[in-house]
Structure 1
């Protein structure tokens, strides 16, 4: 009761209006208002590629503005109070004080379905080696990536200066010759995650507006949808042909994109089954997505991601 009286007449989320924070932090606000964390444009721009222009307009009005946009983060969601997800929040981060960062209460809450529990080992059972070394989200993802640089990017892949494994791990600088040889031989042909992702990660199936989706563990390797010359880890996107059927959206261009997308799985280990012996990929073909494993009635573009590893030639 006392708390209700204390908050009576107060603005519940003052940072929802960026002008409030902009009074003291004008430079940050000027770039943040265009960042993907605030606009959530990445969710919209990727999915409307499956739609006609008329369907995209309907999606904006009936789905994006009513549902997807609710996930945008205001300044206070990262610096004062944990964001509200499905009606749940862990509350104030440190009383009513502003904090510079606390990834375990902010990043973890929004990205707690997949990335964060995989990073800590809560999902998949194997913690990322960087987490075990004491690293957290902002050790790789710098604040410029969150606050934005003033550019209204369409999707996250377009963001400049995104973190790369090679920012810290230079190919050719390995201590052991075997590791150096493996990296040089597979460089640009296989992503770092393709070899160093250590466990199954969460994949979501059959997403429908208002009905949610089903999650299952899985590990898949195939050609990257962004770079058809590189093998990488793939994650199933839950969007299916009738995801927006109730909104009158058939997704006329559904087959334009695959149902699987390259994923930077946050469960990295130095040693995995694939780094220990070559036959895991070249003979046993473990983890490689096959035609029989593709989801039923999926996109025709899924077939373009399949890759059949070749045996290593033995010289006489």
Structure 2
């Protein structure tokens, strides 16, 4: 029989519609339709720079044509690895459903930054949690991944997201550790001290041309909470990023190019935990004006920390 004839009428991606899975997994299917994995709403973070007219262009010509490919169906995580940048790992275990396999689900989509930082493939320093045998779902629960029934604009807004303090008590440990945590709690993020190596920062992003990247570890004011010092990651939208589709970013300077991030390359001891002078005297990793991305937002200057 001809292959095309044999496959006539088959639905290529049945779980693109969660209703397919709802027959057995009604609760999960209902919340998943609102989750960031399904809506990819977090990809619209840059839209704060656009005018109303530019937002419409972005939604139609950029988001739907590019960002939307990060949309994940149930099958992308439980049957067949998602195709990312043309790389297709195929079925995980024949046509069987697999409850979890981070190396074939999380890794392809989050393999540009998070997963290779976690394993040490990028930066050369594996995360201590990975070295202890922990995997993605040990911190990122099913509720977070499947959604909790609420619509979020960003992963940072998700109520079920993991925090370090869920497992780590800052009042336990050596006298030095307890003292350091007491002095920094509330105004320095955990990763500011415990991110062990430079992490990937993207740059030179333009529609249709992709982006380049380089390693870096940046400390500065958290744009979401200016009272906190945080690790920052470069988000590479510069003034001409979307010019090919007619978006000049009318409100470009309203948002910075650096955003708070939690690199997945955590260690108990780093140069900052061993020696106070690295931050308090040498300012080794702190963002400086001469380091800022060329053609970037004026708002970047507000993230420079002055002790």
Q: Same fold (TM over 0.5)?
A: yes
Name the SS for the 2:152 alignment partner: coil
State the shift of 1:175 in Å: 2.1
Match of 1:165 in 2: 164
Match of 1:14 in 2: 14
Match of 1:277 in 2: 275
Kindly indicate whether the alpha-carbon contact (under 8 Å) linking 2:221 and 2:228 is maintained by their aligned counterparts in 1: yes
State the shift of 1:7 in Å: 4.7
1:118-197 matches, within 5 Å, as: 118-172=117-171, 174-197=172-195
1:41 aligns with 2:41: yes
Q: Which segment is superposed worse, 293-302 or 264-273?
A: 293-302
Unpaired runs of 5+ residues, structure 1, are: 310-316
1:70-85 matches, within 5 Å, as: 70-85=69-84
Residues 200-242 of structure 1: CA distance to partner in whole angstroms, max 9, x if unpaired? 1000001111100111111111111111011111110011111
Q: 1:118 to 1:4 in 2, by over 3 A?
A: farther
Match of 1:24 in 2: 24
1:202-217 matches, within 5 Å, as: 202-217=200-215
Residues 161-216 of structure 1: CA distance to partner in whole angstroms, max 9, x if unpaired? 210000000221x2211000000000011100000000010000011111001111
Unpaired runs of 5+ residues, structure 2, are: none
Match of 1:218 in 2: 216
Match of 1:312 in 2: none
Name the SS for the 2:150 alignment partner: coil
Match of 1:95 in 2: 94
State the shift of 1:258 in Å: 0.3
State the shift of 1:257 in Å: 0.7
Structure-2 separation of matches of 1:8 and 1:57: 37
1:264 aligns with 2:262: yes
Q: 1:2 to 1:141 in 2, by over 3 A?
A: farther
Residues 228-271 of structure 1: CA distance to partner in whole angstroms, max 9, x if unpaired? 01111111001111111010001101111100011101000000
1:301 aligns with 2:299: yes
RMSD of the TM alignment (CA)? 1.5
State the shift of 1:9 in Å: 4.3
State the shift of 1:17 in Å: 2.0
Name the SS for the 1:229 alignment partner: strand
When normalised by structure 2's length, the TM-score is: 0.97
Q: Which segment is superposed worse, 6-15 or 99-108?
A: 6-15
Name the SS for the 2:226 alignment partner: coil
State the shift of 1:96 in Å: 1.2
Structure-2 separation of matches of 1:189 and 1:19: 44
Name the SS for the 2:84 alignment partner: coil
Q: Which runs of 4+ in 1 moved over 4 A?
A: 1-9
| Count of aligned positions | 307
Name the SS for the 1:101 alignment partner: coil
1:64 aligns with 2:63: yes
Residues 31-53 of structure 1: CA distance to partner in whole angstroms, max 9, x if unpaired? 10011100001111x11101111
